[in-house]
Amino acid sequence: GLIQRGMGAYQRIDHALSLPVEPSPTRAPTARARTRTPTGEPGRCSGQHQEAALALRDLSFGYTPDRPVLHSVSFTVPHRRQTALVGRSGAGKSTIFALIARFYEPDSGSLLFDGRPSTELSRAACRERIAVVDQSTHVVHGSLHDNITYAAPDATDAEVRRVVELAQLEEVVRRLPGGLSGMLGERGGTLSAGERQRVALARALLARPALLLLDEPTSHLDTINETALTTVMRDAAQECALLVIAHRLSTVQHADQIVVLESGRTAACGRHEDLLTTSPTYRRLAAGQMLRPADTTPLTHDD
């Protein structure tokens, strides 16, 4: 992926701006409301919610002028919802993340953060709203506590406890000699790949981002880590808007909304069951290797 610069650089650490966003009174998270996400409408994904944490409007972009990568991409990422982004390799998923984090500016179209065009906000102001967890998890030499507070060394014990719980790391804390403050093994070797991913999530959630961008691991996880990750995403989505590049069937099954990207275009948008019937592109993805069902084989070593 594109976003491999380590999270510290653009992780949100400004707690002054981290007050939780009030839930929209028009969108109570009831089961009924959650089933009413739009289905299979090509190129349009609930684009009318002005108050969404993030809206992409007719976004077009190419790294070079002669080769456009994104073509009029539109979708929204509502507060307190899980939005999954799926598409074949090269469809443009990482490019969308890079545009949201404003490593690049779109050629046309707009990005709106809480309804405000990104062009009215500084890059820093946009990034303050965002936390990114990519596939490379950076475990530093030190304790679990050091790793979680890496970008926010002044975090209080209560804040750390909150994200340990949110990231499903309590079992890990109990298991590690010295718990939260015991030193991790060489290069974090006492953590599995799935646990390292959750440490990265705890680190990101500590900043209370308005928007969490997660590039889900493509490496096979064991069942325990698979379930834990699903729980973390569900709980994280209670606190912020979650946009996840999804590679797992369990993730898309739990997502409130799935955006299907095909060759840089929004091909469809909806929930898993609906897209299976309405979107041939999605059906192909779900049937193929892009979205793998849970791997039940336990890992014997990392990655």
Contacts with ligand ATP, residue ranges (CB under 6 A): 1-2, 63, 69, 87, 89-95
Nearer to ligand ATP, 89 or 297 (CB): 89
For residue 267, the minimal CB distance to ligand ATP (Å) is 13
- Separation between Cα atoms, residue 127 and residue 105, nearest integer Å: 14
Nearer to ligand ATP, 91 or 221 (CB): 91
- 223 within 8 A of 296, measured Cβ to Cβ: yes
- Separation between Cα atoms, residue 246 and residue 275, nearest integer Å: 15
For residue 251, the minimal CB distance to ligand ATP (Å) is 14
Please tell me the total number of residues recorded for the chain in this structure: 303
For residue 44, the minimal CB distance to ligand ATP (Å) is 20
Nearer to ligand ATP, 74 or 149 (CB): 74
Nearer to ligand ATP, 1 or 43 (CB): 1
Angle between helices 193-205 and 157-166 (to 10 degrees): 130
For residue 218, the minimal CB distance to ligand ATP (Å) is 8
Residue 48, number of CB atoms within 10 A of its CB: 9
Residue 207's closest CA among 140, 124, 125, 151? Answer: 151
The SS3 assignment for 148 reads helix
- 84 within 8 A of 259, measured Cβ to Cβ: yes
Residue 41's closest CA among 265, 253, 278, 272? Answer: 278
For residue 59, the minimal CB distance to ligand ATP (Å) is 13
For residue 66, the minimal CB distance to ligand ATP (Å) is 11
For residue 101, the minimal CB distance to ligand ATP (Å) is 13
Nearer to ligand ATP, 275 or 290 (CB): 290
- Separation between Cα atoms, residue 59 and residue 100, nearest integer Å: 11
Nearer to ligand ATP, 95 or 266 (CB): 95
- Separation between Cα atoms, residue 126 and residue 101, nearest integer Å: 7
- 33 within 8 A of 153, measured Cβ to Cβ: no
Nearer to ligand ATP, 200 or 206 (CB): 200
